[in-house]
């Protein structure tokens, strides 16, 4: 009987009861633990049951986060000091385990996703992988005046390229890695100043299943569009509202926005100014079950987010067989292809609404294409993005670097 591949995983924070990166990486490791022998080093969970109970198929070694760190929630969110805490504990544990004769075929620092953190694996003679790494997308200059001024700690991200060139710990972390994974191809360009043996895109989000196919009756010159996302400028809601002004000859084309944030008031004022407020509704934050209802009942998902590293809401829309209109940059440009949606370039606040309107008109004029793209999205998820498929893909990746 062939023994399972042995992988040592550093994942500072994963939890089935959390959201975002913590949850998606948990789901990947949960599936991977069924087909590989995983040793997972992480901080103990604070929201759900112990991590060892959440991942019964893996060897789970957890470290307690110091109490003083828990008191400073804002500092933790900004500077992620817990990453260095778990690295310190994990390094001691690995050295002790190696001295006792433990071995692994491959090591993988799966989190943090931000590319600005070195890895302790550079200190050991184990082939290792970094990533998937994401984020780090700058705001396009043409949109900077509408995005407001960044907070001081956000502006510190501008030091990343300097560190990629000169930080010896960060550079050696990348140089010694057998493979660097990025959430999308754009990350290879972000990391252009840093030495790497090999780069490969790996989208670190997936789905458990897709919804039953919805038969959407196409009514000529009618379309219910949906935008879901946190209401900040970069998510592109303002551009979709502006696009509505170029569609006044189609009074039955409507837009529904789900999500809250400072952008809602601005978009409401914009809709009033452009004379399209009767065709745009802003629902704010809704429970998950209500959001699913809108995915089911809409015709097209419009999400021109121009600083998006991944785009989980695109998967949510594709699960329901919705054709997608998005941008050809970042994560959305990688997730959506010609078989699942239409992509427009990221240009400027004047041209993007016109490009969006033209894409909307294309789907209005071609109902067969609309249905084809929606079906293509469901098929793409089934073929490439079920969590069990993602785990098999990661296992192949591990074997390729051994």
Measured in whole angstroms, how far is the alpha carbon of residue 367 from the centre of its chain?
A: 30
Q: Which residues of the chain have pLDDT under 70?
A: 1-2, 67-80, 149-158
Per residue in 324-346, pLDDT (tens digit) is 999 999 999 999 999 999 999 99
Nearest of 396, 306, 402 to residue 355 by alpha carbon: 306
Domain 222-384 fold is: Rossmann fold (3.40.50)
Query: Which phi and psi (to 5°) does residue 365 adopt?
Result: -80, -20
User: Does residue 253 contact residue 225 with C-beta atoms inside 8 Å?
Assistant: yes
Nearest of 190, 81, 86, 77 to residue 133 by alpha carbon: 190
- Residue 46 structure tokens: 């604070």
Q: CB burial class (10 A; 0-12, 13-18, 19+) of residue 91?
A: middle
Residue with tokens 């909307």: 360
- Which helix (H) or strand (E) covers residue 106, if one does? strand 106-109
pLDDT of residue 79: 58
Q: Give me the residue spans of the domains in the chain.
A: 6-206+386-401, 222-384
- In whole angstroms, give the CA distance from residue 195 to residue 83: 23
Query: Which phi and psi (to 5°) does residue 138 adopt?
Result: -80, 160
Q: What angle do CA 301, 303, 305 make, to 5 degrees?
A: 170
Q: Do 6-206+386-401 and 222-384 show the same overall fold?
A: yes
- Residue 339 structure tokens: 């078989």
User: Does residue 45 contact residue 63 with C-beta atoms inside 8 Å?
Assistant: no
- Which helix (H) or strand (E) covers residue 21, if one does? helix 20-32
pLDDT of residue 1: 44
Concatenated DSSP letters for 56-83?
TTSEEEEEPPPHHHHT-HHHHHHH-HHH
Can you state the percent helix, strand and coil of the chain, rounding each to 5?
45, 15, 35
CATH class of 6-206+386-401: alpha beta
| Buried-state track 263-275, b at ≥16 Cβ within 10 A, e below 16 | bbebbeebbeebe
pLDDT of residue 261: 93
Task: Return the SS3 of 242.
Answer: helix
pLDDT of residue 45: 85
User: Does residue 82 contact residue 75 with C-beta atoms inside 8 Å?
Assistant: no
Tell how many helices (H) and how many strands (E) occur in the chain: 18, 13
């Amino acid at each position: 009987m062939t023994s399972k591949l042995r992988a040592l995983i550093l994942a500072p924070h994963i939890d089935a009861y959390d959201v975002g990166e913590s949850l998606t990486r948990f789901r990947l490791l949960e599936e991977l633990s069924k087909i590989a022998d995983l040793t997972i080093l992480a901080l103990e969970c604070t929201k759900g049951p112990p991590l060892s109970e959440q991942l019964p198929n893996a060897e789970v070694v957890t470290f307690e986060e110091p109490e003083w760190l828990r008191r400073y929630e804002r500092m933790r969110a900004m500077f992620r000091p817990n990453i260095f805490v778990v690295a310190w504990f994990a390094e001691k544990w690995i050295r002790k385990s190696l001295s006792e004769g433990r071995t692994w075929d491959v090591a993988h620092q799966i989190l943090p996703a931000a590319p600005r953190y070195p890895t302790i694996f550079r200190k050991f003679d184990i082939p290792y992988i970094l990533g998937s790494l994401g984020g780090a997308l700058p705001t396009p200059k043409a949109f900077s005046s509408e995005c407001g001024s960044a907070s001081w700690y956000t502006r510190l991200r501008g030091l990343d390229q300097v560190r990629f060139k000169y930080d010896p710990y960060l550079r050696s972390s990348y140089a010694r890695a057998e493979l660097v994974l990025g959430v999308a191809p754009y990350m290879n360009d972000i990391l252009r100043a840093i030495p790497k043996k090999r780069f490969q895109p790996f989208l670190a989000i997936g789905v458990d299943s897709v919804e039953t196919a919805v038969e959407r009756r196409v009514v000529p010159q009618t379309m219910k569009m949906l935008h879901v996302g946190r209401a900040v400028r970069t998510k592109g809601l303002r551009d979709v509202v502006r696009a509505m002004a170029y569609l006044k000859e189609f009074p039955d084309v409507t837009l529904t926005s789900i999500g809250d944030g400072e952008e809602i008031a601005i978009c409401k004022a914009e809709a009033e100014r452009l004379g399209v407020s009767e065709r745009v509704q802003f629902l704010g934050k809704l429970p998950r079950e209500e959001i699913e209802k809108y995915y089911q009942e809409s015709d097209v998902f419009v999400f021109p987010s121009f600083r998006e590293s991944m785009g989980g809401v695109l998967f949510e829309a594709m699960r329901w067989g919705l054709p997608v209109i998005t941008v050809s940059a970042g994560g959305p440009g990688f997730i959506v292809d010609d078989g699942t949606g239409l992509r427009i370039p990221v240009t400027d606040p004047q041209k993007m609404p016109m490009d969006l309107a033209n894409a909307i008109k294309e789907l209005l004029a071609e109902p067969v294409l609309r249905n084809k793209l929606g079906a293509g999205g469901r098929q793409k998820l089934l073929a490439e993005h079920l969590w069990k498929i993602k785990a098999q893909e990661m296992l192949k990746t591990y074997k390729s670097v051994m």
